[in-house]
């Protein structure tokens, strides 16, 4: 069972929700797909870390074989190749690794080489298995890291798995929720929060994912995120209050559900609601 946690807007509490739900789910898996700014490991402080590099394949040129025909240069839709002063130049940063130039070169002057763009760490924290994807600074796309993180965990997922997604609604988020069985949208009661909630709400519907909303940072009085859910008939899975104790635990990278009985109760009851929803959705939509 894979449950993705997303929000559109940053800082609404994706990591808070996914870390604490994983922690109360006991024997479960946490995957941090926010590879640009991973934070979950700061909370779990996983032990027995195994690390693996993630690389992409990019072309390299053998100048002795290159005839200067420019077939590759003309082909590359990303303008990652140029032929300047009798020399083929490859702009590694903008290469999308499609492999087209290598396939097209009639002189076999191009071959593949690997370029490391980041790494994956696997470790454990109590009964939780923690996966973290980390993009190297200066690299533009973390999508290959997310693909690897999720592919590796595909076979026989007996454990409940929580996927902590990046902010936004672009390709990198789509990749993170692609194989999810259920999506939790975390919303905060602000003008910005509701606007971005609307965006991810569109995204999960576009990909036909069953979903529900967790209202975070709830204060007394009107909650625009709640009104949004009511208007659109989106199930509200739970409410997390805006409170200083929780804020302080969280800002010190402590797992609230492990530190305090009160939050353990709160997140356990949220987990129960989530699992009930997930089971309900998978029974009415078994093909998923």
Partner 1 sequence: MKQLLILSGKGGTGKTTIASAFIKLSGAKIYADCDIDAPNLHLIMAQNIEPKRTDYFGMPKAEIDIDKCIECGLCKENCRFDAISNKNGFMVDPYACEGCGVCEAFCPVNAVSMKPAIAGELMLYADDNNVFSTAQLKMGSGTSGKLVTEVKKQMRTMESPDTKLAIIDGSPGIGCPVIASLSGVDMVLIVAEPSISGISDMERIIKTAETFNTKIGVCINKYATNPANTEKIEEYCKEKGLPFTGRIPFDPEAVAAINNGQTIVDVDCPAGAAAKEVFSSTMKLLIKESDGADA
Site residues, partner 1 (CB under 8 A): 8-12, 15, 34, 36-37, 39, 42, 75, 77-78, 96-100, 103-104, 135, 137-142, 166-174, 188, 190-192, 195-196, 199, 202-203, 206-207, 224, 244, 247-248, 250-253
Strand bridging mode 128-135 / 28-32:
parallel
Least separation in angstroms between CB 264 and partner 1: 21
Give, in degrees to the nearest 5, the angle at Cα 22 between 17 and 28. Answer: 160
Please say whether the beta carbons of 200 and 169 come within 8 A: yes
Nearer to partner 1, 128 or 160 (CB): 128
Q: How far is the CB of 200 from partner 1 (least distance, A)?
A: 9
Comparing CB distances to partner 1, the nearer of 159 and 209 is: 209
- How far is CA 163 from its chain centroid? 6
Write the CB contacts of 208 (distance below 8 Å, at least 6 apart in sequence): none
Nearer to partner 1, 109 or 203 (CB): 203
**C-beta closer to partner 1: residue 39 or 268:** 39
- The answer to whether 17 touches 24, Cβ cutoff 8 Å, is no
C-alpha to C-alpha distance for 109 and 140, rounded to whole angstroms: 27
Tell me how far, at minimum, the Cβ of 286 lies from partner 1, in Å: 19
DSSP one-letter code for 49: E
Shortest separation between residue 40's beta carbon and partner 1, angstroms = 9
Q: Which is nearer to partner 1, 148 or 277 (CB)?
A: 148
Least distance (Å) from partner 1 to the CB of residue 78? 7
Closer of 160 and 194 to partner 1 (Cβ):
194
H-type alpha helices, the chain = 14-24, 40-44, 71-75, 100-104, 143-152, 171-177, 191-206, 224-232, 244-251, 256-259, 261-284
Compute the least distance from the CB of residue 209 to partner 1, in Å.
12
- Phi and psi at residue 215, in whole multiples of 5°? -90, 120
């Amino acid at each position: 069972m894979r449950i993705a946690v997303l929000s559109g807007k940053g800082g609404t509490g994706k990591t808070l929700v996914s870390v604490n739900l994983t922690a109360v789910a006991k024997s479960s898996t946490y995957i941090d797909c926010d590879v640009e700014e991973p934070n979950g490991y700061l909370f779990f402080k996983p032990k027995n870390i195994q690390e693996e590099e993630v690389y992409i394949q990019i072309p390299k040129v053998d100048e002795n074989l290159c005839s200067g025909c420019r077939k590759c240069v003309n082909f590359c839709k990303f303008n990652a190749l140029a032929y300047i002063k009798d020399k083929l130049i490859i702009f590694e940063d903008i290469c999308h690794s499609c492999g087209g130039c290598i396939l097209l070169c009639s002189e076999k002057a191009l071959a593949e080489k690997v370029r490391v763009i980041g790494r994956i760490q696997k470790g454990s924290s109590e009964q939780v298995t923690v996966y973290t994807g980390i993009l190297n600074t200066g690299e533009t796309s973390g999508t290959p890291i997310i693909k690897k993180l999720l592919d590796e965990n595909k076979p026989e997922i007996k454990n409940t798995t929580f996927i902590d997604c990046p902010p936004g609604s672009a390709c990198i988020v789509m990749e993170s929720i692609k194989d999810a069985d259920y999506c939790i949208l975390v919303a905060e009661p602000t003008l910005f929060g509701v606007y971005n909630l609307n965006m991810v709400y569109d995204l999960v519907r576009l990909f036909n994912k069953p979903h529900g909303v967790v209202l975070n940072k709830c204060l007394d009085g009107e909650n625009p995120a709640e009104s949004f859910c009511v208007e659109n008939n989106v199930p509200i899975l739970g409410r997390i209050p805006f409170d200083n104790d929780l804020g302080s635990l969280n800002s010190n990278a402590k797992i609230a559900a492990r530190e305090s009985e009160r939050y353990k109760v709160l997140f356990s009851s949220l987990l129960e609601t989530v699992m009930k929803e997930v089971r309900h959705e998978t029974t009415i939509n078994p093909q998923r």
